[in-house]
Structure 1
């Protein structure tokens, strides 16, 4: 019984997804990450609803996202270089411990405050900052570790399953967060988020895998990772697409309270709308399983971006709750198609020695774009309208979809198959 993925003599056929989730190495890691992502979305939605209840300001709701995702914009490139040269497992443990600290501290503060109206908004922002630092430390390491958890030839399925944890988290977490916040209180919702982080921390602690790849050059050669983009410009285009996905996904959190308020709802409706986006992302996993028989990953990536942009247009034109829910579901499907397509193409193109640094840029694009998108969406909503914010999002995402067309994404990597 090995310390790596399930072994077989000689080359083995890629296993189906159901076998991967029961693999003794990949399975517990995947299940733990699934629960952690549910916890993340419980905290995201409960934080947004709480700050909206305290301030009625979309801009301040956006500042919560800004606080959480700003560290990932600043620190992730360095942690990506560390993931290429050190122990991804230790990095993940440290990062998840910080996430647990942030969620538990917020839960404790709220539970010990007699009236939730007395909770200062800055507490929510500071604890979101701590969680964001945890994501910055552990995020690139999770991406760098993924290929080592499965056999050669199974990376595309592992990427799809990994993205499924985000989709399920988006579907389940907001609904749970909204219901728990409205019934048991915000403090209990934040406590559940902390429990999710602890479960994943234990799963990673028990994980035993070979060390990550060691790249030549300076100890923390962040610049080397950025310079790699010059040798393969298509990687830069793929990262631009990932950034557009992050921008297109932001309205589900930042604009959720504003949309719910416009439609006559409260925290429960905020959770419903965000969950609709997550349900769409979950359904996208099955849509992709069908489409991949007829379309390559380049088409999936472009199609997903188009659906995400059209979803924002649909939300801007929504006149009632069902219309908004449908628009969010469509956007969720688009998110899954785009992320699976773009991420699989990246893993196929990038040499393993650079994967930590390039996937750190993946995180900078997907997650680091959120503080900018959240701030812009919040400001536009407060100064103009939520419709103006949504249409601005649509223009940006559809513009990038035009750049990330299949003919561009299919251009061969320099020197042939570089992902070795």
Structure 2
């Protein structure tokens, strides 16, 4: 904890950006409970729910070839401000969703919102290595993950409570107001960074970024390693568990909110305990732990209370796994290529999460939710073997 406080004292800009990030991420998770609850209220099928969850990731996949070049060629403050406005407007337009026939509009709005959110994330993560490096960069990534986890917990829990008490539409209005607050904080913040100067055209920059990846195979392996953390995106799984098993114990919105909040507590606590212990030698142990935790959760998830304990363990190692693998990648990319590489990395990460999400939706009634969990857990064990045999020998 002391290391994080020192980082904020030494780099006030990191502190300010973290506050904006906290608000922006909070509102994303806050309204997700409302979106998933609204889908159940209008009678959406498990596949439709999984499709909406997948659409959260698709924009980053589609825009990656262009977003990296945009980030590398645009002033970050101006770009981030525009993106917050897009997120605010697309959230407030969710007030128009009232029936099952409106689901296509909901998908479009989610697509626009998450496209802006993904580009906001790429801009921020490309900005950090230009401000700090080394251990400070890993700490900043951990702070990013802790903020993600904290907002995931508070957003899901408070979102579930608001939806339970006041309904989904009040949640959407509150969400929009928070985006306004984040925008006002950003425009008052003074910062700037050097923009890569190049004589290449926009599409020339895209081609240059691809050629850079082809020349640096280790970066591709690190991107693959990081992307497999996407196997821990359980939004569809948690929503279906609430619908199939927990609704007799607690209301569906509260079940979704509490389950995700419990996972988020693990996401926050984990890096405080093991964050400083992980290095390239011990990363294998963390990957194996992650797989074992998911398999254990599969055994107990049908029981609401035991499932909460399992979900805590699942979240315990995820933040450190995400932040450390991200730092491994960031530190090995030349500064002028950061925006493009980060965008391609996010594309790969989101592709994995989208595939996993669709797999869960299609398989839920065929093989059962617990068997899906076992498969995801085994995938991490395979990822551990991939790291030890392929990636680890290439890291200096």
Q: Please give the TM-score of this superposition, normalised by the length of structure 2.
A: 0.89
C-alpha RMSD of the superposition = 2.5
Distance in 1 of aligned mates of 2:121 and 2:106: 21
Task: Give the corresponding residue for 1:257.
Answer: 239
Task: Give the corresponding residue for 1:349.
Answer: 332
Task: Give the corresponding residue for 1:35.
Answer: 23
1:101-126, CA deviations, whole angstroms, 9 ceiling, x for partnerless residues?
111111x325xxxxx66783333322
Higher mean alpha-carbon deviation, 253-262 vs 194-203, is at 194-203
Higher mean alpha-carbon deviation, 51-60 vs 267-276, is at 51-60
Match of 1:69 among 57, 69, 72: 57
Alpha-carbon distance change, 320 to 150 in structure 1, aligned in 2, over 3 angstroms: same
Distance in 2 of aligned mates of 1:120 and 1:141: 32
Do the aligned residues in 2 keep the contact of 1:256 with 1:270 (CA within 8 Å)?
Answer: yes
Which of the two has greater helix per residue? 2
Higher mean alpha-carbon deviation, 51-60 vs 178-187, is at 51-60
Task: Give the corresponding residue for 2:84.
Answer: 96
What displacement does 1:202 show?
A: 2.4
Task: Give the corresponding residue for 2:289.
Answer: 307
Task: Give the corresponding residue for 2:253.
Answer: 267
Distance in 1 of aligned mates of 2:374 and 2:306: 16
Alpha-carbon distance change, 398 to 191 in structure 1, aligned in 2, over 3 angstroms: farther
Task: Give the corresponding residue for 2:219.
Answer: 235
Give the 3-state SS of the residue equivalent to 1:346 in structure 2: helix
Do the aligned residues in 2 keep the contact of 1:245 with 1:305 (CA within 8 Å)?
Answer: no
Do the aligned residues in 2 keep the contact of 1:45 with 1:177 (CA within 8 Å)?
Answer: yes
Unaligned runs of 5+ in 2: none
Match of 2:341 among 355, 358, 363: 358
Do the aligned residues in 2 keep the contact of 1:76 with 1:136 (CA within 8 Å)?
Answer: no
Note the 1:145-224 alignment, pairs <5 A.
145-150=127-132, 154-214=136-196, 216=198, 218-220=200-202, 221-224=205-208
Task: Give the corresponding residue for 1:4.
Answer: none
Give the 3-state SS of the residue equivalent to 2:151 in structure 1: helix
Distance in 1 of aligned mates of 2:168 and 2:210: 41
Do the aligned residues in 2 keep the contact of 1:240 with 1:400 (CA within 8 Å)?
Answer: no
Give the 3-state SS of the residue equivalent to 1:55 in structure 2: coil
Note the 1:268-347 alignment, pairs <5 A.
268-289=254-275, 292=276, 294-296=277-279, 298-299=280-281, 301-318=283-300, 319-347=302-330
1:8-55, CA deviations, whole angstroms, 9 ceiling, x for partnerless residues?
xxxxxxx93113335532222101211211111112222122212322
Task: Give the corresponding residue for 1:245.
Answer: 229
Distance in 1 of aligned mates of 2:71 and 2:330: 15
1:157-203, CA deviations, whole angstroms, 9 ceiling, x for partnerless residues?
21211221111122211111111111111112222322333333223
Task: Give the corresponding residue for 1:383.
Answer: 366
Distance in 2 of aligned mates of 1:314 and 1:143: 33
Give the 3-state SS of the residue equivalent to 2:12 in structure 1: coil
Distance in 2 of aligned mates of 1:304 and 1:196: 36
The number of residue pairs the alignment matches comes to 387
Distance in 1 of aligned mates of 2:324 and 2:68: 21
Unaligned runs of 5+ in 1: 1-14, 111-115, 414-420
Q: Does 2:370 align with 1:371?
A: no
Alpha-carbon distance change, 228 to 217 in structure 1, aligned in 2, over 3 angstroms: farther
Alpha-carbon distance change, 212 to 389 in structure 1, aligned in 2, over 3 angstroms: farther
Do the aligned residues in 1 keep the contact of 2:50 with 2:361 (CA within 8 Å)?
Answer: yes
1:271-323, CA deviations, whole angstroms, 9 ceiling, x for partnerless residues?
1111111111111220234xx2x441x24544443333333322321141222
Distance in 1 of aligned mates of 2:24 and 2:112: 16
Distance in 2 of aligned mates of 1:131 and 1:368: 17
Q: Does 2:91 align with 1:109?
A: no
Q: Please give the TM-score of this superposition, normalised by the length of structure 1.
A: 0.84
Distance in 2 of aligned mates of 1:382 and 1:54: 20
Match of 1:57 among 45, 53, 64: 45
Q: Identify the structure with bigger relative contact order (alpha carbons < 8 Å, sequence gap 6+).
A: 2
What displacement does 1:387 show?
A: 2.2
Give the 3-state SS of the residue equivalent to 2:246 in structure 1: coil
Q: Does 2:5 align with 1:21?
A: no
Task: Give the corresponding residue for 2:115.
Answer: 133
